[in-house]
């Protein structure tokens, strides 16, 4: 395969040979110039005078001798003009669409459009015929827009549009005058000034060159075309176009639109080519679910090339229209590929440092100034900041200590408390809120300094890379500081962070390496003028290739069309050209698209694929081979071996803390929930009680089910505390205390009452109502006496001769009536009223876990208060109207039933301590659904 740049280099050598140093070559991109210089050098045995190489942007700005300020400076200059017309609009409100306006002005100038006519407000449609002098089709577009606009009464939105629109021409003119006075310009302004004043004098800056060559262009703006046309007409320049007759000759093919319309091409068309006809191509369409699936498949393609001995790095490109795929692609490249050139750079916004500042911005945004003059912070924001890698590195044990404190029930945390509890410098910086823009810069630099100093002192593993992040971040902050502090209209801190996000959107940290060597991983537009034999192109989906819809603009579509300003139609034509141009010399082409449904596109593949399949293939059936694949790649569950933990000496040592010799007391207790855990799954018991893997407990900002239950239990404990007997008069008095006692319970179990807000206030009311209903149910049982509330009950239990365990439980309530005891167990969840056929069902079936727990409590009570009749009732709060559900048909448990329960309990505990019975997974995977350890076991997915 011979590339366009190789052909061009040979052309230069043949026509200019010894005079290459007098040439100037202009390409669409700087990268193209770099590759060209390599190709030219390879044609000579010794050193030569290299021609000067420019990108089109660098070339025109050098010709124009233009000083282009920072985009943010341009924005503030525009605001100064805009503010004269709209004095009530603050910069914060102006900023989001000010950038849009600069882009529109840039388009106006690059496309040499008459601003006074574009921004005219037309009430009388005859004015269009008289004043605009446009082609008939464009006249109709203008009339259509203004006819529809004024057809009905103006809405508030339309009125605001007209009020702005009628001032835009004056704003445009004054803005340009203001910039000119300062010796500044935006890019389009410089282009227009150059195009409208083009003459021999203009090009004195380039007089050192005898000839200029424009190579590889496609969609030129009218300003660019006018400048190039002048040079070519004067004999000072020539142009070379990289096209194919397939799309230039077919007037229905959007890829050839600009070539067909370009006058320069018609007058000076070199190298008409038939690459699609003459170069055989194998084109694979691969539909793959999800973006990450595409990246993995790209890695497979590269590996297959390597295995077949067909992989030549410099002739292979992986092209990414979507930059989010960069890192997944890099991770998918086979290890055998040692040289990789990434043209896209590392996005600053994907660095850990940027993420830290995002968390700090959220912390400050959600901060609240309290009555004591201190700020309070939302607990999740505090956690996110303290949990960040850099802050953990800097803060050390202080951070770990505070992360533990956050597990307490805080929703908002006072800066006063944070700073009082920690004397760390990093805490003082993190939890101080800057009040001005000046303070923001000082505050940010302090954070960067502390992080950098810590990394240097600790010889941090990635110190060099992280230092580069910090340097780039600092550079961007300093750049903003230099601009913003000079402005009269200083943005708020909130707007400053918005500006910072916008400014850093396009900042890349370059990858080091040899740009001309190795596999090329590139953005789509970076492929311009470059050719590769093997092309792997990802994200070939509609709305990606070509990109979706219009770019944002203040100028309506019909007006843009009428005056020749670019719209999405032109953008699509440009995408089509770059797509086909990339393919025209390639031999092995892999076009990957996402099959996963997404919004309105439903995973639709790009129309470019349909064009290849139905148009290109039919035109060149002999040279085009199409292979279509849909990689369904079902995510198959690997058959994971059953996890079995044998009771080794180490495991038995941990297990023995739950047992002791008769006459001694074990170190740890066995609860009903622990025993139920073993019944459900011995491995779950091992994870929780032997390995000590605590079940995940998220801190709650809203009262979740577990805490809701704790609060309710605490409220009922407070309600009946210290009351020997309960009768009707007592209940009446208790009803008046419900609100205060529920608040007290919330404070003890969850959160200070003054921090309650939103959903939690509603849940407080729910708890109050439930307590009231419990008292209503208790009315039906009057009179009775309360014996125990939230009572810790323990019992030493001999399960084998000479070996004991300590059984433990917390019983919600034990009351007494007519000499009989009743255990009441409050249940906030749903209770299935299943009746076991025998006591052993409690030990074999997890469906009876509530009943097992209740019987367990009855058994312990029978030991602690022997000789009494004991019945058990479950009070399900979701079905309060049904009253208390009494187990055992409401009858007290018999001595025989307790004996049976004890027998099965001994059998269960003996199994737990039997060294020959391992801790194995349950066979019933339905039990894994809500297990905290299911991911470790690959169960319940």
For the segment 472-518, what is each residue's pLDDT rounded down to a tens digit? 888 888 888 888 888 777 778 888 888 888 888 778 887 766 677 88
Residues 6+ apart with CB under 8 A from 493: 364, 434, 436, 437, 440
pLDDT for 534 equals 97
d(CA 406, CA 379): 7
Query: Tokens 């309960």, residue?
Result: 726
Q: Confidence class of residue 169 from pLDDT cuts 50, 70 and 90?
A: very high
Q: Confidence class of residue 151 from pLDDT cuts 50, 70 and 90?
A: low
Task: Say yes or no: domain 275-345+516-630 is CATH 3.90.320.10.
Answer: no
Q: Return the bridge partners of 805, or none.
A: 659, 797
pLDDT for 635 equals 36
Query: Tokens 């990689």, residue?
Result: 631
599, 608 Cβ separation under 8 angstroms: no
Residue 564 has pLDDT above 80, yes or no: yes
Residue 576 has pLDDT above 50, yes or no: yes
CATH no. for 4-66+210-240 = 3.40.50.300
Residues 6+ apart with CB under 8 A from 453: none
In tens, the pLDDT along 742-767 reads 888 887 777 555 555 667 777 788 88
pLDDT for 756 equals 58
d(CA 118, CA 558): 11
pLDDT for 827 equals 85
Half-sphere exposure of 410 (CA within 13 A, CB side): 21
Angle at the Cα of 593 from the Cα atoms of 340 and 581, rounded to 5 degrees: 65
pLDDT for 296 equals 92
Residue 553 has pLDDT above 90, yes or no: no
Question: What is the C-alpha end-to-end distance of the chain, expressed in Å?
Answer: 50
pLDDT for 637 equals 40
State the average pLDDT over residues 584-605. Answer: 79
pLDDT for 639 equals 44
Residues 6+ apart with CB under 8 A from 299: 329, 332, 333, 334
Top mean pLDDT of 350-354, 514-518, 548-552 is at 350-354
- 776-781 long-range contacts, CB within 8 A, separation 24+: 777/875, 777/880, 777/883, 777/884, 778/726, 778/731, 779/728, 779/731, 780/883, 781/815, 781/817
pLDDT for 124 equals 46
d(CA 496, CA 334): 43
Greater model confidence, 743 or 936: 743
Residue 37 has pLDDT above 80, yes or no: yes
Tell me the backbone φ, ψ of residue 508, rounded to 5 degrees. -125, 145
| CA dist list (Å): 157 to 534, 868, 929 | 52, 80, 53
State the average pLDDT over residues 556-571. Answer: 87
| DSSP codes, 673-691 | HHHHHHHH-HHHHIIIIIS
d(CA 231, CA 198): 9
- Reference 718, options 699, 735, 742, 739; nearest CA is 742
The whole-chain average pLDDT of the chain stands at 85
State the average pLDDT over residues 294-323. Answer: 93
State the average pLDDT over residues 694-723. Answer: 72
pLDDT for 849 equals 87
CB atoms within 10 A of CB 205: 12
Greater model confidence, 168 or 877: 168
CATH no. for 655-928 = 3.90.320
The mean-pLDDT minimum among 253-257, 422-426, 600-604, 659-663 falls in 600-604
Residues 6+ apart with CB under 8 A from 308: none
The 10 Å CB-count burial string (b at 16+, else e) for 726-744 is beeeebeebeeebeebbbe
Q: Is the pTM of this model over 0.85?
A: no
| Percent of the chain's residues with pLDDT above 70 | 88
Residue 128 has pLDDT above 50, yes or no: no
């Amino acid at each position: 395969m011979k590339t366009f740049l190789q052909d061009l280099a040979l052309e230069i050598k043949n026509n200019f040979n010894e005079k290459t140093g007098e040439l100037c070559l202009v390409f669409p991109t700087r990268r193209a110039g770099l590759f060209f210089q390599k190709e030219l050098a390879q044609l000579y045995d010794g050193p030569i005078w290299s021609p000067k190489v420019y990108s089109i942007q660098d070339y025109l700005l050098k010709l124009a001798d233009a000083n282009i300020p920072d985009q943010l400076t341009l924005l503030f200059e525009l605001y100064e003009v805009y503010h004269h017309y709209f004095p009530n609009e603050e910069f914060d409100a102006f900023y989001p669409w000010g950038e849009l306006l600069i882009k529109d002005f840039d388009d106006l100038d690059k496309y040499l459009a008459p601003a006074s006519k574009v921004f005219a407000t037309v009430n009388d449609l005859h004015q269009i015929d008289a004043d605009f002098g446009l082609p008939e089709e464009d006249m109709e577009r203008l009339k259509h827009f203004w006819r529809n606009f004024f057809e009905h009464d103006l809405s508030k939105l339309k009125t605001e549009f007209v009020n702005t629109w009628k001032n835009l021409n004056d704003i445009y003119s004054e803005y340009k005058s203001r910039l000119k006075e300062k010796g500044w310009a935006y890019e389009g302004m410089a282009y227009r000034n150059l195009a409208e004043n083009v003459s021999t004098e203009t090009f004195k800056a380039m007089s050192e060159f005898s000839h200029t060559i424009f190579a590889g262009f496609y969609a030129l703006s009218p300003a660019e075309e006018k400048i190039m046309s002048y040079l070519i007409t004067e004999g000072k320049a020539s142009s070379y176009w990289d096209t194919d007759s397939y799309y230039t000759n077919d007037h229905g093919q959007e890829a050839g639109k600009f070539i067909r319309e370009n006058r320069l091409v018609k007058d000076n068309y070199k190298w008409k080519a038939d690459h699609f006809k003459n170069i055989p191509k194998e084109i694979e369409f691969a539909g793959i679910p999800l973006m990450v699936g595409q990246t993995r498949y790209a890695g497979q393609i590269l590996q297959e090339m390597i295995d077949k001995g067909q992989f030549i790095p410099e002739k292979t490109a992986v092209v990414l229209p979507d930059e989010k795929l960069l890192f997944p692609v890099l991770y998918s490249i086979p290890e055998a590929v040692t040289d990789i050139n990434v043209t896209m750079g590392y996005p600053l916004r994907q660095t850990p440092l940027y993420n830290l500042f995002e968390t700090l911005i959220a912390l400050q945004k959600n901060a609240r100034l309290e009555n004591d003059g201190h700020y309070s912070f939302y607990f999740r924001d505090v956690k996110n900041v303290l949990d960040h890698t850099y802050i953990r590195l800097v803060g050390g044990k202080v951070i770990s200590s505070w992360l533990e404190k956050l597990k307490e029930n805080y929703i908002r945390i006072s800066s006063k408390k944070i700073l009082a509890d920690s004397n760390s410098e990093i805490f003082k910086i993190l939890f101080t809120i800057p009040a001005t823009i000046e303070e923001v810069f000082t505050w940010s630099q302090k954070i960067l300094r502390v992080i950098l100093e810590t990394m240097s002192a600790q010889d941090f593993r990635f110190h060099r890379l992280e230092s580069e992040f910090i340097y780039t971040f600092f550079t961007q902050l300093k750049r903003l500081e230099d601009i913003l502090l000079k402005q009269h209209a200083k943005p708020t801190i909130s707007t400053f962070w918005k500006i910072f996000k916008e400014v850093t959107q396009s900042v890349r940290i370059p990858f080091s390496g040899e740009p001309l060597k190795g596999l090329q991983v590139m953005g789509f537009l970076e492929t311009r003028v470059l050719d590769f034999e093997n092309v792997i192109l990802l994200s070939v989906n509609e709305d990606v290739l070509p990109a979706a819809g219009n770019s944002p603009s203040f100028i309506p579509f019909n007006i843009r069309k009428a005056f020749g300003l670019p719209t999405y139609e032109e953008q699509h034509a440009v995408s089509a050209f770059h797509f086909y141009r990339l393919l025209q010399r390639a031999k092995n082409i892999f076009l990957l698209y996402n099959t996963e449904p997404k919004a309105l596109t439903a995973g639709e593949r790009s129309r470019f694929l349909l064009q290849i399949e139905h148009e290109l293939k039919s035109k060149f059936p002999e040279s085009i081979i199409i292979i279509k694949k849909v990689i369904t790649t079902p995510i198959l569950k690997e058959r994971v071996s059953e996890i079995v933990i044998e009771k080794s000496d180490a495991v038995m040592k941990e297990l023995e803390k739950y047992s002791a010799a008769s006459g001694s007391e074990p170190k740890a207790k066995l609860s009903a929930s622990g025993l139920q855990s073993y019944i459900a799954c011995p491995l779950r018991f091992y994870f929780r009680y032997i390995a000590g893997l605590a079940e995940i407990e998220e801190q709650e900002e809203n009262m979740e089910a577990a805490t809701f239950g704790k609060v309710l239990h605490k409220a009922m404990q407070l309600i009946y505390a210290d009351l020997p007997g309960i009768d009707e008069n007592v209940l009446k008095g208790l009803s008046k205390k419900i609100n205060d006692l529920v608040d007290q319970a919330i404070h003890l179990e969850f959160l200070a009452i003054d921090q309650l807000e939103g959903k939690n206030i509603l849940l407080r009311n729910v708890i109050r109502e439930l307590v009231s209903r419990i008292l209503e149910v208790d009315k039906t049982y009057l009179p009775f006496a309360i014996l125990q509330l939230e009572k810790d009950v323990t019992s030493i239990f001999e399960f084998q001769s000479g070996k004991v365990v300590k059984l433990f439980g917390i019983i919600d309530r034990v009351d007494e009536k007519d000499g009989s005891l009743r255990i009441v167990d409050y249940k906030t969840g749903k209770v299935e009223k299943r009746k076991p056929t025998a006591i052993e069902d409690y030990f074999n079936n997890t469906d009876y876990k509530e009943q097992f727990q209740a019987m367990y409590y009855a058994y312990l009570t029978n030991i602690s208060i022997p000789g009494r009749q004991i019945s058990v009732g479950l009070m399900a709060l979701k079905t309060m109207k049904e009253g208390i559900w009494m187990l055992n048909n409401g009858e007290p448990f018999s001595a025989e039933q307790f004996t049976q329960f004890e027998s099965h309990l001994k059998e269960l505990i003996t199994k737990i301590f039997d060294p020959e019975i391992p801790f194995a997974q349950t066979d019933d995977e339905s039990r894994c659904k809500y297990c905290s350890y299911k991911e470790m076991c690959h169960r319940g997915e």
